[in-house]
């Protein structure tokens, strides 16, 4: 990692005077000069690229490719690859990054009770959210397909997708609001419990069921995504396949099981894996509704807590690496399924 540190220091040294001049524009003339420099650089870069495209005989093809792809790859290398390598490196050091401790951070992540609860909660999220969201979206897409109120019904389910995670967390926190039984309830769900003669419940405080109430919020958001993708896939099923199924006597559940589901299998895989990846990275809902307290923390939230609250850079880096490793198999499986789908077509 010394190589990367030296490269970073060298780039910082070279960039320092240029960056100071570009970023510290304090008068109109200085700002105008910065704008002119930016425009000139843009024109020069784009002109070189277009010149290479316009005159392929004079410029080799690989030069044109580098001109188009090179800047993006460079930014990816310094924006993704270098931080990833730096995080892996930091995960083998103590909280201050001054002492090499080997795999102690990883051992702590898998053996201590509080982190085992975090891993358990993360597994619970990854198992329930993709399955339930996809099932709800699939059933809803089939039921409302080509009905009179199809557009309105689909809009209502998709609407939560337009709400930010933080916004959804705040909305459902008010829904779960708890007050003493002798007081007037401000939370909708507890008010419903009171109306039917039950005692109000502390939805977000009682472990471990409070995790399910947090998971419900994410399902509420992701069901609209699943419904949209699967509804489009159902519409794309060729009519001749549907007619062939009807000639074989398939209707209702038989048509759904033998025609609809096999025909939209690639879309199902994409939906499940996409939601699973989003679930592994869930942070906003947990942070907004419980701050990870009451045994509700997940890996992404615990990474934030250890890195920025507890100032334990080594353990935070180890949790980030664990999260990255958990995402890799899902990404690989998703890519393989997409390639198989393309080969079939």
Task: Show Cβ contacts of residue 142 under 8 Å, excluding neighbours closer than 6 positions.
Answer: 234, 256, 260
Q: Are residues 16 and 128 in the same domain?
A: no
Cα distance between residue 140 and residue 155, in whole Å: 12
Q: Are residues 220 and 138 in the same domain?
A: yes
Q: Are residues 131 and 76 in the same domain?
A: no
What are the backbone angles phi and psi of residue 304, rounded to the nearest 5°? Answer: -65, -45
Q: Are residues 297 and 189 in the same domain?
A: yes
**Total structural domains in the chain?**
2
User: CB of 312 within 8 A of CB of 306?
Assistant: yes
Q: Which of 40, 64, 90 delimits the end of a domain?
A: 90
Closest C-alpha to 187, from 206, 202, 197, 198 = 202
**pLDDT score recorded for residue 12:** 55
Q: Which of 36, 58, 90 delimits the end of a domain?
A: 90
**pLDDT score recorded for residue 99:** 87
**pLDDT score recorded for residue 53:** 60
Whether residue 101 is contained in a domain is answered as no
Q: Are residues 150 and 68 in the same domain?
A: no
Q: Are residues 172 and 307 in the same domain?
A: yes
Structure-token pair, residue 1: 């990692």
**pLDDT score recorded for residue 1:** 47
Looking up residue 161, the CATH number of its domain turns out to be 1.10.3720.10
Structure-token pair, residue 196: 């039917």
Q: Which of 58, 90, 122 delimits the end of a domain?
A: 90
One pLDDT digit (tens) per residue for the chain, 345 residues: 454 455 555 555 555 565 565 566 566 676 777 778 778 888 887 777 676 666 555 666 677 677 778 778 888 888 888 888 889 999 999 888 888 998 999 998 888 888 899 999 999 999 999 999 999 999 888 888 777 787 888 888 888 888 889 999 999 999 999 888 777 888 889 889 888 888 888 899 888 899 999 999 999 999 999 998 998 888 888 888 878 877 777 777 777 788 888 888 888 888 998 899 899 889 999 999 998 889 999 999 998 899 888 889 899 999 999 988 888 888 888 778 777 766 655
Structural domain including 246 reads: 107-344
């Amino acid at each position: 990692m010394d190589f990367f540190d030296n490269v970073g220091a060298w780039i910082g040294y070279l960039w320092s005077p240029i960056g100071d001049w570009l970023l510290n524009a304090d008068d109109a003339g200085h700002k105008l000069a910065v704008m002119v420099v930016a425009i000139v650089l843009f024109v020069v870069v784009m002109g070189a690229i277009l010149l290479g495209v316009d005159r392929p005989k004079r410029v080799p093809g690989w030069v044109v490719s580098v001109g188009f792809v090179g800047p993006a790859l460079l930014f990816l290398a310094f924006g993704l690859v270098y931080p990833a390598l730096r995080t892996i490196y930091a995960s083998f050091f103590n909280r201050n990054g001054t002492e090499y401790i080997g795999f102690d951070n990883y051992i702590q992540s898998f053996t201590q009770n509080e982190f085992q609860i975090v891993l358990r909660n993360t597994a619970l999220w990854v198992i329930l959210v993709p399955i339930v969201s996809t099932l709800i979206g699939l059933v809803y897409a089939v039921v409302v397909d080509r009905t009179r109120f199809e557009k309105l019904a689909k809009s209502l389910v998709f609407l939560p997708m337009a709400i930010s995670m933080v916004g959804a967390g705040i909305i459902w926190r008010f829904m779960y609001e708890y007050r003493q039984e002798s007081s007037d309830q401000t939370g909708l769900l507890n008010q419903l419990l009171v109306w039917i003669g039950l005692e109000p419940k502390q939805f977000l405080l009682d472990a471990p069921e409070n995790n399910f109430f947090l998971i419900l919020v994410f399902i509420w958001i992701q069901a609209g995504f699943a419904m949209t993708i699967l509804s489009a896939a159902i519409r794309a099923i060729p009519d001749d396949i549907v007619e062939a199924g009807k000639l074989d006597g398939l209707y209702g559940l038989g048509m759904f099981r033998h025609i609809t589901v096999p025909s939209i299998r690639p879309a199902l895989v994409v939906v499940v894996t996409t939601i699973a990846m989003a679930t592994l990275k869930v942070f906003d809902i947990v942070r907004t509704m419980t701050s990870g307290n009451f045994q509700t923390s997940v890996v992404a939230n615990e990474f934030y807590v250890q890195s920025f609250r507890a100032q334990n850079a080594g353990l935070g880096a180890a949790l980030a690496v664990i999260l990255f490793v958990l995402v890799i198999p899902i990404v690989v499986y998703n890519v393989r399924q997409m390639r198989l789908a393309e080969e079939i077509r």
